[in-house]
Amino acid sequence: MSLLPQSNGTGPAIELDGVFKLFGNSPAVDGLSLSVEHGSTFGLIGPNGAGKSTTIKMLMGLLAPTSGSVRVLGHDAGTEATQIRQKVGYVPELHLMDRWMRVKEVVGFCRSAFSTWNDDTCREMLDRYELPDDKKVKQLSKGMLVKLSLVLAISHEPEMLILDEPMSGLDPLAREEFLDGVLQTVCDKGQTVLLSTHSLGDIQRMADTVGFLYGGRLLAHSNIDDLLASTKRVRATLTNGSPPENLPTGVVWQQVEGREWLLTVADFTPETVQKIGDLQGVENVDVIDIGLEDLFKDFVKGQRSNS
């Protein structure tokens, strides 16, 4: 009883290939390549300024990459942006609607822009979220605004949802309601989802695959379960208090405190323990499992100490 991904034979749902985006001389996106399969939920995570918003703007065709190719649902984001926007349900971080419009006017306006609008879905969702037709956007609370954005995104039956940090600043109940709304439509329709967020809890709940963006580059991109299984923290004792020179590959981050040496290793295999134990001045190698949050923190710390 599995959900069938909507593969239409034209390649991955999202495909970025060697994408660079420079603002002046600084790269917001620095050689990004990634692909997202139909029907999967991709979590894009990274600190502020990592390039998440820029990437999403390129996916929606609002920004042109400086170089590289961006393809969404088989369309090139440069030349076929309008087709992409027809098929993608986009939920922004801050609502974009004109503040003076009433809910029914926003709905009417958006309805006229999309060729595949479903009035029943829209009505049903507006009722479910108790969004009043006559209230102006500026009178709605944050939680209601994000729900309205979701209604607008889903009512035109998109093949893909792109959620750009939509839950920032929401109270826990509103977040849950929003995510449940997304889950419901994914359960029913099986859309591909790209979720850009700060929250690792949301990523774990919602995403199959996760991509970690830092400094415009993808540091990690894999299935969450694989990532958890293949990234471990290793604890060892250093006999002379200083770590060895040549570290095995895959060391993301390390820390020395007294004689205790902690390192986080990606692509972990049983041989890794062996290799570390074989290094000069290293004893008592111990392996610890870590959760997603610690994993990402270590990635960031590792990047910061390298740069």
Judged by the rule CB under 8 A, the positions of this chain that interact with other proteins are 1-3, 40-41, 57, 60-64, 82-83, 85-86, 90, 92, 96-98, 100-101, 108-110, 112-114, 176, 179-180, 183-184, 186-188, 200-201, 204-208, 224-225, 228-229, 289-293
Measure the CA–CA gap between 178 and 195, rounded to whole angstroms: 12
For the CB of residue 111, give the shortest distance to other proteins in the complex, in Å.
Answer: 8
For the CB of residue 244, give the shortest distance to other proteins in the complex, in Å.
Answer: 26
User: Element (H or E) spanning 267, and its range?
Assistant: none
Nearer to other proteins, 106 or 279 (CB): 106
For the CB of residue 196, give the shortest distance to other proteins in the complex, in Å.
Answer: 14
Give the chain's largest Cα–Cα span: 73
For the CB of residue 173, give the shortest distance to other proteins in the complex, in Å.
Answer: 12
Side chain identity at 39, as an amino acid letter?
Answer: G
Nearer to other proteins, 148 or 279 (CB): 148
Contact assessment for residue 235 and residue 260, using Cβ atoms and an 8 Å cutoff: yes
Nearer to other proteins, 131 or 233 (CB): 233
For the CB of residue 17, give the shortest distance to other proteins in the complex, in Å.
Answer: 19
Nearer to other proteins, 101 or 262 (CB): 101
Nearer to other proteins, 101 or 251 (CB): 101
Three-state DSSP class for residue 303:
helix
Q: Is the dihedral of CA 84, 85, 86, 91 positive or negative?
A: positive
How distant, in Å, are the alpha carbons of 134, 243, 277 from that of 254?
57, 9, 15
For 304, other C-beta atoms within 10 Å of its C-beta total: 12
Three-state DSSP class for residue 153:
helix
